[in-house]
Amino acid sequence: GAVVSQHPSWVICKSGTSVKIECRSLDFQATTMFWYRQFPKQSLMLMATSNEGSKATYEQGVEKDKFLINHASLTLSTLTVTSAHPEDSSFYICSAKDVGANQPQHFGDGTRLSIL
């Protein structure tokens, strides 16, 4: 149980394009989802916390107009990288948290984004 599906797993696109990444909890409802960015051989950097039905909470230094997050249902959150540039190239990972204070986050398999 507790499967999180992230799509696409790999995307290559031209500079200036907007890219949407989907994160779905397949067998549980997730009131809270998280979006991370990971640079090579580094730890995960939290970008934002996404709560169903409300605006996302962004971490300091993360541009909310650049990284649009929508959490329209209890099983789906999306991250849209708007007008992507080469410096946005990275590995993006989502996670979803099951209901209950001590429940862990369950992670998707990540999306490798390459902007040419």
Partner 1 sequence: GNSVTQMEGPVTLSEEAFLTINCTYTATGYPSLFWYVQYPGEGLQLLLKATKADDKGSNKGFEATYRKETTSFHLEKGSVQVSDSAVYFCALSDGSGTYKYIFGTGTRLKVLA
Footprint of partner 1 (CB under 8 A): 2, 4, 6, 32, 34, 41-44, 46, 49, 93, 95, 97, 101-102, 104-110, 112
Which residue lies nearer to partner 1 by CB, 108 or 115?
108
Identify the DSSP state of 84.
-
Strands (E), the chain: 4-7, 10-13, 19-25, 32-38, 44-51, 57-58, 67-73, 76-81, 90-97, 105-107, 111-115
Which residue lies nearer to partner 1 by CB, 65 or 102?
102
Which residue lies nearer to partner 1 by CB, 43 or 54?
43
Residue 18: CB minimum distance to partner 1, A: 23
| Cβ pair 79, 23 in contact under 8 A | yes
Residue 28: CB minimum distance to partner 1, A: 13
